[in-house]
Structures are given as structure tokens and as C-alpha cells.
Amino acid sequence: MQMAYSQVEDRLLLRFNTKDGTEFRFWLTRLFIKQFWPGLVKAMEVNLPAQSAGHKRSMMGFMHQNVVEQANFSSAFEPTNTSCPLGEAPLLVCRSHIQEKGPGLHLLSLYPEKGYGVELGMDQKLLHLLCKLIQDTILQVDWGLALSLPGTDMEGTPTLTEGGSSGRQLH
């Protein structure tokens, strides 16, 4: 999976390969990211233990940090020349859905205004990695979006916030 910013298009380019060598390419606009982000965060929260809001934020922050630390962001994206079933040119994503399909599993659907799109099975790890790619790319773009996760700062590091009368709490 790779995400890059195109200054000419003023869009994010999301590319990913499947295990069989199929490559998909999508343009993501500022408006799309702004509307998509809350659903992505909700999908990552859905399987967290239903305790206090502060506990959920802490769990989210540490889960995100753990996934990101184990990921390999240094490897270059290796494009495939095998197959681009939706075409060589990236599709502009106009519609998306994230559905829970089971414990820790979601179906992410990305569709253009008309025509075919994709439906991707994603576990919690892939959701967190997608989140990190979006956050890192947005930090390089002047879109005025602050995309944070509960319990983390913009870089995905767990944060400490002031708690009520009990002093500092980890969130």
C-alpha cells in the first residue's frame, strides 16, 4: 500500500497491490478524506473494550503505536505490471463504505461516481496502517486538516492529557 500527494492534481494517490499482483489506483480528495476519516476512526474503535471513554482512547493510542512500530515503512512500493483491472489511470473515489464483517475484520469499499470500484477485506492492523499513511501524507499537504486518533498526537504517539480531579491520565 502506498499513499502520495500530487500537487498538480491536489489529491492523494492511493495505490495497493494484491497478493496475485493486481494493482489498484485511486485519487482521494480533501473533501473525501475529511468525510472518510470519522468512519475510519469508528471502524478502529468498534472492537475496543467498552469501558470508559478515557480507557478507549488509551487503548486506541497504544494499539495504533504498536501496529505502526511493527510496520515496514522503509520499503519502496513495488508497482506490478501484471494487471490493473480498473485501468492504468487512478479512479476518483466518490463513495466509500466501511462495514464490520466480524471481530476485527472490516470491508472497505471504494467507488468512483460511476462504474466499478473495489471491496477490500481489512483487519485492524491494515486499518491502522491506512490511517498512518493518510496522516503522514496530510502532514505534507496544506489542506488545513488535523486528522488525529483518540489517544494519540498527529504522529500517532499516545498522548497524556489532564484528567479531572485525579491529575494526569494517559490517553
pLDDT tens-digit map of 17-75? 888 888 899 999 999 999 999 999 888 887 666 665 665 666 666 666 766 677 665 66
The yes-or-no verdict on residue 9 having pLDDT over 90 is: yes
Q: What is the pLDDT of residue 112?
A: 96
Q: What is the pLDDT of residue 162?
A: 35
Reported pTM: 0.74
Q: What is the pLDDT of residue 163?
A: 37
Q: In what order do the strands lie in the sheet with 105-111?
A: 95-102, 105-111, 118-123
Q: What is the pLDDT of residue 166?
A: 32
Task: Look at phi and psi of residue 102 and say left if phi exceeds 0, alpha if psi is from -120 to 50, else beta.
Answer: left
pLDDT higher at 158 or 138 = 138
Mean of pLDDT values over 120-132: 90
Grid cell, residue 146, equals: 488535523
Contact 26, 90 (CB under 8 A): yes
